[in-house]
Structure 1
């Protein structure tokens, strides 16, 4: 799977995240502080998260993982890109629910509170999760898309 990853700093679990994704066999597209060789790629959370989210929206990536100190800013920025549903997850249960009920295609993480063992649990849940086929769940996801267009 192609995963676009962004972080505004190479701190906390940022480097471990990229290593874990590659270990799982994913192709990683890096943005922000995770891509220091690209002078056109800003490290700031809003720009880096937008770049990762646009990769998903424009088909260059299947999913994204966006990070900043709290994860909140990264989530907000990613959710501004049409077609992206970013979920800030601090535990495996939330990651499972975000995939199941919200069909989230971008995972937002806090560099401050997520440890490496917790990161592994969250990623396990995220990648094992599948979007619900229940009519009410699909209707909610479809409604979110109409909200974004209005």
Structure 2
């Protein structure tokens, strides 16, 4: 799988993100933010760049990180077609892939240890998106929410 990676700092597990992906057989197609000497390292810019790699087809998924993971998640989710999930444990990572068909994994540099990173990545990559009709309908609705309103009924 082709994966883009971003981090706004070189703290915590940031320096090992690309290696952890490669160890699992994935191709790191781009690094952004503090991981690239030529780019702005602020979380909003770095996370947007990685998310755009996914949205524009240069990457299949992305991994974005900042101190809490929250800003990286918010920035990535602003890019149309992105479903970024902030995951602090393996169960959340599996759920994000299964029920939300998340295509961007957001991580906290403060809260994720090397051992926890391994657990999160293993769960993320081992879990396929659900084929259940209600789960697919929810993911489709996310796309509809992000699209300009047309004849969509107003929420009650």
Q: TM-score range by the shorter chain?
A: over 0.9
What are structure 1's unaligned runs of at least 5 residues? none
Paired residue for 2:31? 30
Following the alignment from structure 2 to structure 1, what is the Cα–Cα distance between the partners of residues 61 and 68?
Answer: 20
Q: Which runs of 4+ in 1 moved over 3 A?
A: none
- Listed one character per residue, the Cα deviations across residues 72-120 of structure 1 (whole Å, up to 9, x for unaligned) are 0000000000000000000000000000000000000000000000000
Q: Distance in 1 between matches of 2:93 and 2:117?
A: 11
TM-score computed with the length of structure 2 as normaliser: 0.93
Q: Whole-Å Cα distance in 1 between the matches of residues 35 and 25 of structure 2?
A: 18
CA shift, 1:27, in A, is 1.4
User: Hey, what's the Cα distance between the residues in 1 that align with 2:97 and 2:23?
Assistant: 21
Q: Which residue of 1 aligns with 2:129?
A: 131
Shift in Å, 1:42: 1.1
Local SS of the residue matching 1:35: coil
Q: In the TM superposition, what is the alpha-carbon distance from 1:25 to its structure 2 partner?
A: 2.0
Tell me the secondary structure at the aligned position of residue 67 of structure 1: strand
Distance 1:90 1:110 in 2: 7
Alignment match of 1:87 (pick from 79, 85, 89): 85
Show the counterpart of 2:15: 15
State the alpha-carbon separation in 2 of the partners of residues 88 and 140 from structure 1.
Answer: 18
Report 1:54-93 matches (<5 A).
54-93=52-91
Cα distance in 1 between the residues matched to 2:85 and 2:67: 15
**Coordinate RMSD, CA, aligned:** 0.7
Greater Rg over alpha carbons, structure = 2
Matched, 1:100 2:98: yes
